[in-house]
Structure 1
């Protein structure tokens, strides 16, 4: 994910939308769009967005695994592989 971020007013987005899209091809810098001086939205390159979504999905899986572990819903590797072998 790109760590570079620009802050621009909504008027910049309105008047430069096509240029912003072209710019993402070489510089996927995330834009924070403000309205009346307050951050209102983020504009980002689709590839950066997809990477971010993949990262979030992995973090959710890790959190789910941790929760199941804490609830005692796990088994040791040996038992798991034996169970898998028996299902074939």
Structure 2
């Protein structure tokens, strides 16, 4: 992604908010807003934001799982299968 073309001062966003939001909703890349020459915020469409949040949640779950494997907090597959079978026998008689 080339964000260099998507860097705008906040005054640009204020003057063109409706147009910028329409572009974002049509799939434009996120826009970086500056204030006094410094990057202060990034705006993006809601769908992209939600996808990013879902991806971060999945990565967190993966990292937690990898940490459990690293610390030995696992259960052998055979034990899990045996427990599931035992539960099914209890509920199905």
Where is the helix percentage greater, Structure 1 or Structure 2?
2
User: What is residue 66 of structure 1 aligned with on the other side?
Assistant: 66
Q: Unmatched 5+ residue regions in structure 2?
A: 89-93
Cα RMSD (Å)? 1.3
Instruction: Using structure 2 for the length normalisation, give the TM-score.
Output: 0.84
Where is the strand percentage greater, Structure 1 or Structure 2?
1
Q: Unmatched 5+ residue regions in structure 1?
A: none
Decide which moves more: 25-34 or 48-57. Answer: 25-34
Determine if the alignment matches structure 1 residue 16 to structure 2 residue 16: yes
Q: Which has the higher contact order (CA 8 A, sep 6+)?
A: 1
Native 8 Å contact 1:4 1:30 kept in 2 = no
Instruction: Using structure 1 for the length normalisation, give the TM-score.
Output: 0.88
Number of aligned positions between the proteins: 86
In the alignment, the residues of structure 2 paired with residue 26 and residue 45 of structure 1 have an alpha-carbon distance, to the nearest angstrom, of: 9
